[in-house]
Copies of this chain bind each other. A is one copy, B any other.
């Protein structure tokens, strides 16, 4: 039954990615705590030592996954912000939503992410996204201040507040009915306007458009 241990050698980078792919998949399926390093090595078909040759610990694997998952969102956000011909409000909403990467493959991750087994994953993702995106949003708010679109006395803290709220509140979106989601989105837009001292409805429409597109 047991396969003979055919020795297959790959480049470190290739093997690392393979491990991360499988680990991510497994964390989605069973949660971080429940997925064991044995699960990982069995599914790939490598030995225990191989795994620990590439990663020092299970937590380091998690860190690498978080890194990989967040990098894309943060890059996207920082690109969007630089498009100075796009209206600030649109850039702002796009940047905020860049972390809610609900698109494509990552969907299942976000379903599992709040389960208690994934508290650590959740915390690390949030931390990293906050560190990465808050400065970007902050810059945007400052730009809006100069343009006269916004009037925010504490851009950094406002950015923090927006990002923290959206990362926690939009986590639990899937449990809500469609009208609840709508209301939550409206409230979010309304509050951001207040927070940034923006004109009423200056953000409302563009935010609602994105939220509507989200669950089509």
Residues of chain A whose beta carbon lies under 8 Å from any beta carbon of chain B: 59, 116, 119-120, 122-124, 153-154, 156-158, 160-161, 164-165, 168-169, 183-184, 186-188, 190-191, 194-195, 197
Please, which residues of chain B bring their CB within 8 A of the CB of A153? Answer: 187, 190
> Whole-angstrom distance between the alpha carbons of A158 and B169 in the complex?
12
Classify the interface of chain A: helix, strand, loop or mixed.
helix
Please, which residues of chain B bring their CB within 8 A of the CB of A165? Answer: 160-161, 164-165
27 contacts between A and B (CB under 8 A): A59-B116, A116-B120, A119-B122, A119-B123, A119-B124, A120-B120, A123-B123, A153-B187, A153-B190, A154-B186, A154-B187, A156-B187, A157-B184, A157-B191, A158-B187, A158-B191, A160-B165, A160-B169, A161-B161, A161-B165, A161-B169, A161-B191, A164-B169, A165-B165, A168-B168, A191-B195, A194-B194
Please, which residues of chain B bring their CB within 8 A of the CB of A195? Answer: 191, 194-195
Please, which residues of chain B bring their CB within 8 A of the CB of A156? Answer: 187
Number of copies: 2
User: Are B116 and A187 interface neighbours, CB within 8 A?
Assistant: no
Min CB–CB distance A191 → chain B (angstroms): 6
Among B160, B186, B197, the residue within 8 A (CB) of A194 is: B197
